[in-house]
Structure 1
């Protein structure tokens, strides 16, 4: 269990640091206009597609409480933890990085704007890590031999 927690921390710190570094570059003025996507700066006050933005500052506290609650619930699920600690490190670090943004900047720093073929929401590296992590958990569940 100690080894899995150590690896969880390494993944957590690595992804959190990468995400915050990219956001720092964006906040310092990094922009790019491309044919498929652009790098812009948007402060998302809500969750995906700006949903729940009407909650204002309450959203960050609600998210913080949910992350803490899920953490304590996961700590009680030893087998699930041991099978997925690296994926959970991705998801938790990305989520915490976005919550950190809410406390420091008043909204999540989003910057990847996909506009090829259709306009899509603006998102960030942390959002991608959450999506990849959740996708990996779902894939592992479907591919698991034990049901």
Structure 2
């Protein structure tokens, strides 16, 4: 458990700092670049995915912090969940807290990846990709666990 916690903390710190450095560059150093397929262009998201809940703009950061606090309390009471999903949890916390910090620092989440070849896609950032990777890892582990349980059940039958 302790080794997993140390790994999770290092992973969290690394991703969080990397994401904040890149966002600082776009927000303060004009790192915008136009490309034929994808551009790097500063945009602020005042909602969540695809700007949903942007009407909660000023309160959203507090709602998200409350969710983080509740999740942390849950993990403290259910250490086995952390033990099983520590990598995904580190990724979720890094991406989520980085985006929440943006709301306090810049007033909205700093986004910059803009796909525009063939169709226009929502503008997103590294933290968004990290959060999606964490969710994919959780789903993968869940599917793997269900298959293993079915296999064990068939062996016993």
With the shorter chain as reference, the TM-score category is over 0.9
Give the whole-Å Cα distance in 2 for the aligned partners of 1:3 and 1:142: 25
Q: CA deviation at 1:31?
A: 1.1
Larger helix proportion of the pair: 2
The aligned counterpart of 2:91 is 90
Q: CA deviation at 1:89?
A: 0.4
Q: CA deviation at 1:56?
A: 2.2
Q: CA deviation at 1:75?
A: 2.1
Q: When the two structures are aligned, how many residues end up with a matched partner? A: 147
| Pairing 1:2–2:12 present | no
Q: CA deviation at 1:77?
A: 1.9
SS of the equivalent of 1:122 reads coil
The aligned counterpart of 1:12 is 12
SS of the equivalent of 1:109 reads strand
The aligned counterpart of 1:25 is 25
CA-based RMSD of the aligned residues comes to 1.1
The aligned counterpart of 1:76 is 77
The aligned counterpart of 1:120 is 121
Q: Which stretches in structure 1 are left out of the alignment for 5+ residues? A: none
The aligned counterpart of 2:37 is 36
Q: CA deviation at 1:146?
A: 3.7
Runs of 4+ residues over 4 Å off in structure 1: none
Q: Which moved more, 1:99-108 or 1:28-37?
A: 28-37
Q: Which stretches in structure 2 are left out of the alignment for 5+ residues? A: 151-157
The aligned counterpart of 1:110 is 111
The aligned counterpart of 2:143 is 142
TM-score (norm 1): 0.95
Structure 1, residues 91-117: CA drift from partner, whole Å, max 9, x if none? 111100000000011000000011121
TM-score (norm 2): 0.89
For the pair shown, which has the larger CA radius of gyration, 1 or 2? 2
The aligned counterpart of 2:132 is 131
